[in-house]
């Protein structure tokens, strides 16, 4: 039986050999720049190593034990998931609302609005972080000056210097920058819905609200589950924005796992880098993301069959 299966497999590979040739460059790059770094990070996490030379000081699980009792790591861990779930709860539905509005053929200039919403996406995140550092400056920032001038504020607010405001501010900026991607996904989904269904509903006298809840949203459920997953995953690594906005401060209030790992692995201000320790922190976070992905996979598959 195994011989027959092997023969059939080899026959299929030979039949579709050009497919494998076309896929092979992507596969090689994936192995080199994704799989190999992950395996290397796991290996380094068992060493006390500063990132130079060959790791020799094997410490076993000591890095993991230290990570698990470090309150600063768990602070960054919680902030990371607050950041990610905020995108799911705000960006995901907000992009759907905007997509429904901008998918209306009666709306004049809708392509212009789409372009304006998508423009921040193509702007480098680090540049956006630096620009908002200037805009939100408590002393000379244009935003604070404008709000004080128009009596919206009595005094300037230090958005990036406040422990309670820095993370929400970063979340709002990130949603503004990335909502264009989620919007495009929703627009693609909306355009797969047959126009005949809307025409039939209109003939039957269905109101726009009923059309939305009985046609649009049910038919968007399968693609919506994929968009939900993509939105969540894409918001798990806000390093460039957080690093340029606040560097994880003040008092680690906006610290995320990415900035935590960077601080120990690459920060030139440290006299001794702790690459192995940082690798352990990244590995633990990666495992939790993998577990969440595995747990929600059956739910995503079930929703994917909903439309059919």
**Would the CA dihedral through 258, 264, 265, 270 be positive or negative?**
positive
- Is 154 contained in some domain? yes
92-102 and 217-234 helices cross at what angle (nearest 10)? Answer: 130
- Is 111 contained in some domain? yes
Closest C-alpha among 77, 70, 74, 60 to residue 276: 60
- pLDDT band of residue 139 (cuts 50, 70, 90) is confident
- Return d(Cα 182, Cα 298) in angstroms, integer: 22
Q: Please report, for the domain that includes residue 290, its CATH number.
A: 1.10.3720.10
- Is 9 contained in some domain? no
Domain with 143, as residue range(s), is 65-304
- Is 265 contained in some domain? yes
Supply the pLDDT for residue 307: 53
- Return d(Cα 23, Cα 40) in angstroms, integer: 24
- Is 112 contained in some domain? yes
Does residue 302 surpass a pLDDT of 80? no
Q: What is the DSSP letter of 120?
A: G
Number of domains in the chain: 1
- Is 222 contained in some domain? yes
Mean residue pLDDT of the chain comes to: 89
Share of the chain above pLDDT 90, in %: 55
- Return d(Cα 145, Cα 239) in angstroms, integer: 29
- Is 241 contained in some domain? yes
- Is 43 contained in some domain? no
283-297 pLDDT, tens digit each: 999 999 989 888 877
Supply the pLDDT for residue 305: 63
Other beta carbons within 10 Å of 128: 19
């Amino acid at each position: 039986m195994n011989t027959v299966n092997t023969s059939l497999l080899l026959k299929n590979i030979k039949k579709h050999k050009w497919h494998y040739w076309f896929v092979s460059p992507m596969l090689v790059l994936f192995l080199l720049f994704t799989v190999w770094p992950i395996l290397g990070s796991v290996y380094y996490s068992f060493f006390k190593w500063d990132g130079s030379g060959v790791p020799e000081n094997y410490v076993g699980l000591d890095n993991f034990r230290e990570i698990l009792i470090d309150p600063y790591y768990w602070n960054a861990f919680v902030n990371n998931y607050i950041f990610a779930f905020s995108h799911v709860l705000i960006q995901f539905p907000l992009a759907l609302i905007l997509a429904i509005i901008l998918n209306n053929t009666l709306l004049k200039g809708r392509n212009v609005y789409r372009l304006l919403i998508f423009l921040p996406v193509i702007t480098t995140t680090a540049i956006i972080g630096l620009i908002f550092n200037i805009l939100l400056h408590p002393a000379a920032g244009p935003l604070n000056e404008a709000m004080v001038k128009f009596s919206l504020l009595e005094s300037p607010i230090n958005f990036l210097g406040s422990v309670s405001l820095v993370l929400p501010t970063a979340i709002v900026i990130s949603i503004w920058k990335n909502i264009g991607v989620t919007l495009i996904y929703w627009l693609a989904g909306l355009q797969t819905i047959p126009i005949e269904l809307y025409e039939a509903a209109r003939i039957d006298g269905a109101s726009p609200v009923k059309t939305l809840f009985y046609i649009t949203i049910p038919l968007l459920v399968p693609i919506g589950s994929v968009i939900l997953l993509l939105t969540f995953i894409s918001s798990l690594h806000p390093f460039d924005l957080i690093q340029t906005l606040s560097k994880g401060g003040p008092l680690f209030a906006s610290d995320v796992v990415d900035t935590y790992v960077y601080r120990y692995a690459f920060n030139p201000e440290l006299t001794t880098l702790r690459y192995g320790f940082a690798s352990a922190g990244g590995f633990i976070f990666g495992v939790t993301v993998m577990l969440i992905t595995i747990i929600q996979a059956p739910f995503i598959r079930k929703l994917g069959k909903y439309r059919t």
